[in-house]
Amino acid sequence: MTLTKPPADEFKIAVKRARLDEVVVYEVTESELVVLERGGSDSLLLNIAIFLFSSALTLVVAMLTTNMGSPVRELSVLFVIAATAIGMFLAGLWYRGRLSASACSRTIRNRLPPNGVLETIATADQSASTHRTTVNSSKLLITSARYGAATSWVDVTAELMAKSTGQGLVVPVSNEEFGGDPCPNVAKTVEVTYQHQGLLQSVSAAEGSMLRLP
């Protein structure tokens, strides 16, 4: 019996490549990764809230359409009140997490140099150094911001970037403005590092005062 080897052309596969004209690389800090990762788990809070709202609504309809004994009706009313309150609390947590994730995404996207700014990365033969040629750097860019005191701080970079117009920023330094009190009964400070007109600068403001940038 003689085996015939198939022609080599029979095993050739045509490969088509969808070429990218541009690749955008965003730099992300560790705290921003935490915010983005938390955004995935926040959807569970919304699902639980919807379940509680649905259960409460179903029980209300049952109470209106059926005759219930006094003990059962009282327990049903308590369940409706509790389910509604817990559902509203969970929905609020989900909404706050969604806002934080959106602000974090905007902060990351705003790191992309505007038109007129060219950023290139050198090759290994050039010690893998990074060079940036700035043509227009008048835009306000907040690189980092934290709020707190002593060893208790929270990252508020995303919150400030969301409030910034790109030209300036004026906000009151308060627990309400930064989403909570990281260290109760202690005087706190907001510390900000930002870039404006090609210069990297740092500023701080005490609780109860106004933060003005630049």
For residues 51 and 69, state if they share a domain: yes
Q: Is residue 13 assigned to a domain?
A: no
Token reading at 47? 């699902």
Please say if the pLDDT value at position 179 is more than 50.
yes
Q: Is residue 8 assigned to a domain?
A: no
Q: Is residue 12 assigned to a domain?
A: no
Distance between start and end Cα atoms, the chain: 87
Q: CA nearest 59: which of 74, 77, 33? A: 77
Q: Is residue 53 assigned to a domain?
A: yes
Domain that holds residue 205: 117-213
pLDDT digits (tens, 9 = 90+) for 19-65: 766 677 777 777 777 777 766 667 788 888 899 999 989 988 888 88
For residues 125 and 102, state if they share a domain: no
Q: CA nearest 28: which of 158, 212, 188? A: 158
Per-residue CA distances from 40 to 34, 75, 95, 104, 176 (Å): 10, 35, 13, 14, 25
Last residue of a domain, one of 110, 135, 151: 110
pLDDT digits (tens, 9 = 90+) for 100-153: 777 777 777 777 765 545 454 444 444 444 444 343 456 788 888 899 988 888
Q: Is residue 1 assigned to a domain?
A: no
Q: Is residue 132 assigned to a domain?
A: yes
The continuous run of DSSP H or E covering 93 comes out as helix 70-110
Average pLDDT over residues 62-88: 86
pLDDT of residue 81: 92
- Give residue 97's pLDDT band: very low, low, confident or very high (50, 70, 90): confident
For residues 95 and 122, state if they share a domain: no
pLDDT of residue 102: 76
Q: Is residue 3 assigned to a domain?
A: no
The continuous run of DSSP H or E covering 209 comes out as none
Distance CA 38, CA 41 (A): 5
Q: What's the number of domains the chain is made of?
A: 2
Distance CA 157, CA 195 (A): 13
Using CA atoms of 157, 160, 166, 171 in order, give the dihedral in degrees to the nearest 10. Answer: -150
Whether residue 113 has a cis bond before it, omega within 30° of 0 = no
Token reading at 17? 């490549």
pLDDT of residue 85: 92
Higher pLDDT, 8 or 111: 111
For residues 103 and 121, state if they share a domain: no
For residues 141 and 186, state if they share a domain: yes
Q: Is residue 134 assigned to a domain?
A: yes
For residues 201 and 125, state if they share a domain: yes
Long-range contacts (CB closer than 8 Å, 24 or more residues apart) made by 114-123: 114/139
Average pLDDT over residues 59-84: 86
Last residue of a domain, one of 56, 75, 110: 110
Last residue of a domain, one of 77, 110, 143: 110
For residues 121 and 209, state if they share a domain: yes
Q: C-alpha 151: how far from its chain's center?
A: 23
pLDDT of residue 125: 45
